[in-house]
Every structure is written in structure tokens, then in C-alpha cells.
Amino acid sequence: MLIGYARTSTREQIAGFEAQLAELKAAGCKKVFQEQVSAVSVGKREELESALDYVREGDTLVVTKIDRLARSLPHLLQIIERLEKKGVALRILSMQIDTSTPNGKLMLSIMGAIAEFERALMLERQLDGIAAAKQAGKYKGRQPTAKRKADKVLELAAQNMTRQEIAEKTGIGIASVYRILSAAKPQAGQADVGL
């Protein structure tokens, strides 16, 4: 069974939605899930989730364009993996890709390999940049969150807040609060700062 999925962003006109629906019906889709939500929206796309839950082994999920389905190539690959586990094919009309055919599987495999290669290159460039910055003495790394909040911890302790209250107020763990306060305790013979 062919199951369609149509999505328009909140900025697009109804005409774009109707064009997708007509294309999916012409492709033979018996059921179409549709929603209007931005591709970069952080929230879940409920109708996409419903479509992915609805499809069964032997079905094909059909979309008009790749950007109607996925936010990015890694997101697309996650969707494809989910479909494959259910024995469901994917058809992208604009690209004439159908994963139920050997050619369609090959095209998606190539896309996945390119994405993986690009990710490896990006990580390699990042590591090279860090190494060069370290050698030039410009890379210090990320300072731990608790250390960045040490002044605030000491300020709240001076206000007689409990360690638990300090941890909740600053958003760091109670063990970090104890470490900061312990490190700030005066050495023998020095005046107490109220800790």
C-alpha cells in the first residue's frame, strides 16, 4: 500500500499544500498524512510520527520532495533506518528514488556514504584546528560549568544558604558545591570568611 506524507511550512500557501496532495494522489497513495509545520521546528512532527507508526511491512511511504520529509541528511537516514526495520520502502517523487528497487537503494546508500564522509572530514578539520590552537597557546578548552559558577556559589554561601539550595539555584551538582566551598576554606591561621 502506498502511504503519502505531505508537509508545508507555516509560511507556505495552501496552494503548495494542495499541489503536494494532488501529486501524492496521482502517485497512487491511498492514505495521506499531512501537516503544516516548519522543517527546522524543534518540536515533533506529529503527523510524520503517525505515518511512520502506521506503515506496515510491504508498504511504501511516498513524499513529493526530500525536504518535505527530513530536516537534514542524518535525519533522513534515521527515518530510512526506521522504515527498513519495518520492511517499508521510501519513494521520493522529485528524485525518482524508490528504495524498493536496487537503484533506489544504491542512490540512498551513496547519499549516506557521502554524509558519513563529510562528517569524518569535518571532525578531522576540527581536531586539526584544536591541535594548531593548542600549539599556538590559544586553546584552553571549555572551562567546567561548576568552576565558572564558583563566585556565585561563594556569594550564596555567604548568605547562609544550604548546600542543596546553592546547587538548585546555580544548576550544578551538590558535590561541586562542596568542592568549591572546600577549596575556598581558609588555611589554618587565616580568618574565616563565613563558610
Active site residues: 9
The DSSP secondary-structure symbol of 143 reads: P
**Which residue type is seen at 11?**
R
**Which residue type is seen at 144?**
P
- Spatial distance between the Cα atoms of 48 and 179, rounded to a whole number of angstroms: 47
- Spatial distance between the Cα atoms of 91 and 3, rounded to a whole number of angstroms: 10
**Which residue type is seen at 92?**
I
Cα distances from 17 to residues 5, 76, 170, in angstroms, run 11, 21, 47
Nearest CA to 63 out of 8, 102, 20 is that of: 20
Helices and strands in the chain: count of H runs, count of E runs: 9, 5
